[in-house]
Amino acid sequence: MSPRSSKKISEARQIPWRQAIAPYQHPFLSRSFAQISNSVIPYLILWALMVYSLRISYWLTLALAIPAAGFMMRIFIIFHDCGHASFFRSQRANDVVGNLTGVLTFTPYAHWKRDHAVHHATAADLDRRGVGDVKVLTVSEYLALSKWGRLGYRLMRNPLVMFVFGPMMVFLVGHRFARPGAGERERASVIWTNLALLGIVVVMSVTIGIKAYLLVQLPIVILGTSIGVWLFYVQHQFEGVYWARHAEWDFLSAGLKGSSFYKLPSLRQWFTGNIGYHHIHHLSPRIPNYRLQKCHEASPLFQEVKPLSLRASLKSLGYRLYDEEHKQMVGFGYLKSLPSVSA
């Protein structure tokens, strides 16, 4: 972020931002139900069409997996909003829909809800990393690793691992187990989700066959989770991103400068449930996804945040570490410019 933009945000701090977001923190029942209808129903229809397309051509099946993955992302946004208690006014309604959509997205609701709440409380805080976020090391932390530690980190940050194999493993395997130290409710959500998924697999095996089920479901999961992890990644690892040690950490800066305003084309914005307005979302996760854009447009403070274009976001692929001294994301090649350092 440029000094001019930072100055504008500093001046805009005088604006009562809590007052600016307050009118948008309440969901509309009709819009929430409409979003369930225009997300879940098309997803199920496409799923059925993919099963039918297996009789024609698997290339057709894979083509249908693309829009199906898009609707799976919209379902995850509904799941995500339920976890923030922002999709319905009723907590019970949020929990019921959250658990059901969690099955469709292979994610245990209560377990993910807890970890994601930690992410919101610690985003952009260098001293509180590690839960619900994408692992990023500082330059000094990386240099302090052993040879094998550096190799492991490089492997984890490889785009193929980060955005293809990693997401698939997290959603299909990682989410099947509770995190060490998880509470009883979080563990129960993992068990409940696993049993529900097992039930679906059994039914699909009896009706269409396990092979057909895998041929349909796996492409959707691989594509949907890959795009989803990319969105999450670029929301907090981009040029000019804000990170700070806990003593200097500031909530407003973490929202406006530590979370991106990812400006996507209208159709992609629709499929991703307006999550590109991530700077607004981090200031108030109680705003339903379908009200984020209106909130952004209503306040000069939010409009001063520089948008991140799809093209510009591709630079994030090269970011691997955070340089505390210069307060910027850098790639591994940056290490070669440091005196007496071997990458």
- Per-residue pLDDT reduced to its tens digit, 248-264: 999 999 999 999 999 99
Mean pLDDT computed over 285-293? 97
What share of the chain in percent tops pLDDT 90? 85
Helix/strand/coil for 184 = helix
Q: State the pLDDT confidence band at 16, using cuts at 50, 70 and 90.
A: confident
Task: Please give the order of strands across the beta sheet that includes 321-323.
Answer: 137-138, 321-323, 328-330
Q: State the pLDDT confidence band at 195, using cuts at 50, 70 and 90.
A: very high
Cβ atoms within 10 Å, residue 120: 15
The model's pTM is: 0.92
Residues 53 and 176: their CA atoms lie apart, in Å, by: 30
Q: State the pLDDT confidence band at 343, using cuts at 50, 70 and 90.
A: low
Mean pLDDT of all residues belonging to the chain: 92
Does the pLDDT of residue 34 top 90, yes or no? yes
**Amino acid identity, position 255:** G
Residue 273 is predicted with a pLDDT of 95
Residue 9 is predicted with a pLDDT of 46
**Region at 287 (left for phi over 0; alpha for psi -120 to 50; beta for the rest):** beta
pLDDT in tens, 47-98: 999 999 999 999 999 999 999 999 999 999 999 999 999 999 999 999 999 9
Q: What angle do CA 316, 322, 327 make, to 5 degrees?
A: 100
Q: Among 2-11, 123-132, 263-272, 309-318, name the one with the lowest average pLDDT.
A: 2-11
Residue 337 is predicted with a pLDDT of 84
**Amino acid identity, position 116:** H
Does the pLDDT of residue 2 top 90, yes or no? no
Mean pLDDT computed over 151-179? 95
Q: Among 61-70, 78-87, 99-108, 178-187, name the one with the lowest average pLDDT.
A: 178-187
Which residues lie below 8 Å from residue 72, measured CB to CB, with a gap of 6+? 43, 104, 105, 220, 221, 224
Produce one character per residue of 10-47: b if its CB has 16 or more CB atoms within 10 Å, e if not. eebeeeebeebbeebeebeeeebeebbeebbebbeebb
pLDDT in tens, 203-241: 999 999 999 999 999 999 999 999 999 999 999 999 999
